[in-house]
Amino acid sequence: MSSAAVEKQLAAFNALKTDLFHKDFLLTWEHSTDEIKAVLTLAEALKLLHQEGLSCRAFDSGLAISIFRDNSTRTRFSFAAAASALGFTLSDLDEEKSQIAHGETVRETANMISFLAEVIGIRDDMFLGEGNKYMREVGDALTEGKQQGVLHRRPSIVNLQCDIDHPTQSLADLAWLKKHFGGIENMRGKKLAMTWAYSPSYGKPLSVPQGVIGLMTRFGMEVSLAHPEGYGLIPEVIEVARKNATQSGGKFEVVNSMEQAFQGAHIVYPKSWAPYHVMQRRTELLKTSDKDGLKALEKECLANNARFSNWECDRAKMNLTHDRSALYMHCLPADITDVSCKAGEVSAEVFEQYRIPTYHEASYKPFVISALMFLTRLRDPGAKLEQIIRRAKGLSI
């Protein structure tokens, strides 16, 4: 094994202080910078081991449960792959096939599925004000279950996208940026344009842009958030981003022009989302199953979106960026003009140029999730990583 690279990650990891054992991971800004760096470092170490064909197995058994309240391909497979790589068995809670409809409480279900669970990954991003709250409700139930001796161990919840944050996405994004720019310290002073982009659909969650501005502002970057008027994000997350930028010596601004955000940017992240207040109205309509209201809202929103169809990431706008060659990012799948729709977030030419880099970006997600499992389920993750490396080198452990 080319063990130098992985041992470098081990050394970097051992210099960091983390306190994630048996904790949850719900919002990146609830965790220290050391913990964020530990996730990135560990993800990189596990990726290197996998690249060499070496086993990352750290557990003999245990359930990793997934609860997907919305569709998913890459996060679903990333979670499955992460569980498998570490030795956990995946068990998906399909709420339609369960007895949950019978009026069972979250408190009860959370305990019932967790007797042998180690990790619970949850995606719940449909309703503003609901997803993150649901995760905390599950968490409280697990804490009570552990306190009462019902659960031998308290499983850790990993947020696989909620209404507020999408931490496994933003951490994978950051891991990719760290790799691309040769180190987290090189992010300082880099301008990132997190901008709204046109899409012929509506109702996309806010969690990706919120996750990005909430995380990237911590590392001295200049984050420019751009969107048409009326497409604002949750105010609390804007505050988080502002505070982060101040503390890290970076910058954070909100502008109403894609061009302005792209100006001199080193990184662009053009991505559609629904306006905050639309998501609020939509949540109310969904709660009351008001189909006519939902149709009317969709029509109104698509008409409003259409006013901003020029918010497309095309060659002309890319030419405004630093050296005319900013790194394009996307959480995928993107709405690509003339490929997946008539007019979308990005021109076919720009997307094709950066297609492979977006795949690299995505490739970090399973390892980020592995790292989160590793950090939350091991009392001494550094010792276990060292053990895995020794095993890989054929040394006695």
Rule CB under 8 A: which residues touch its own copies?
Answer: 50-51, 53, 55-57, 60-63, 65, 68, 71-74, 76-78, 80-81, 83-85, 87, 89-91, 93, 97-105, 108-109, 111-113, 115-117, 145, 148-153, 332-333, 335, 339-341, 356, 359-360, 362-363, 365-366
Between residues 221 and 373, which has the closer beta carbon with respect to its own copies? 373
Residues 44, 48: Cα–Cα separation, whole Å: 6
Closest approach, Cβ 55 to its own copies, in A, equals 4
Closest approach, Cβ 372 to its own copies, in A, equals 15
DSSP assignment of 297-326 equals HHHHHHHHHHTTTT--B-HHHHTTSGGG-P
Between residues 252 and 354, which has the closer beta carbon with respect to its own copies? 354
Phi then psi for 327, rounded to 5 degrees? -80, 125
- CA 199 from centre of chain: 21
Q: CA 234, 237, 242 angle in degrees (round to 5)?
A: 130
* Bridge partners for 328 per DSSP: 268
The two counts, helices (H) then strands (E), for the chain are: 15, 9
Closest approach, Cβ 40 to its own copies, in A, equals 17
Between residues 71 and 288, which has the closer beta carbon with respect to its own copies? 71
Q: Which of 45, 134, 12, 6 minimizes the C-alpha distance to 374?
A: 45
Residues 262, 268: Cα–Cα separation, whole Å: 7
Residues 384, 89: Cα–Cα separation, whole Å: 19
Closest approach, Cβ 138 to its own copies, in A, equals 14
Between residues 135 and 151, which has the closer beta carbon with respect to its own copies? 151
The string over 288-317, giving b where at least 16 C-beta atoms fall within 10 Å of a residue's C-beta and e elsewhere, is: eeeeeebeebbeebeeebeebeebbbbeeb
Q: How far is CA 29 from CA 26, 95, 211, 262, in A?
A: 9, 30, 9, 26
Residues 282, 296: Cα–Cα separation, whole Å: 10
Between residues 78 and 159, which has the closer beta carbon with respect to its own copies? 78
Between residues 53 and 235, which has the closer beta carbon with respect to its own copies? 53
Between residues 166 and 218, which has the closer beta carbon with respect to its own copies? 166
Closest approach, Cβ 81 to its own copies, in A, equals 4
DSSP 160: S
DSSP 102: G
Closest approach, Cβ 98 to its own copies, in A, equals 4
Closest approach, Cβ 298 to its own copies, in A, equals 16
Between residues 73 and 289, which has the closer beta carbon with respect to its own copies? 73
Residues 128, 196: Cα–Cα separation, whole Å: 18
Strands of the chain, DSSP E: 63-68, 89-92, 117-123, 156-159, 191-196, 222-226, 251-255, 267-271, 327-328
Closest approach, Cβ 73 to its own copies, in A, equals 4
Closest approach, Cβ 115 to its own copies, in A, equals 5
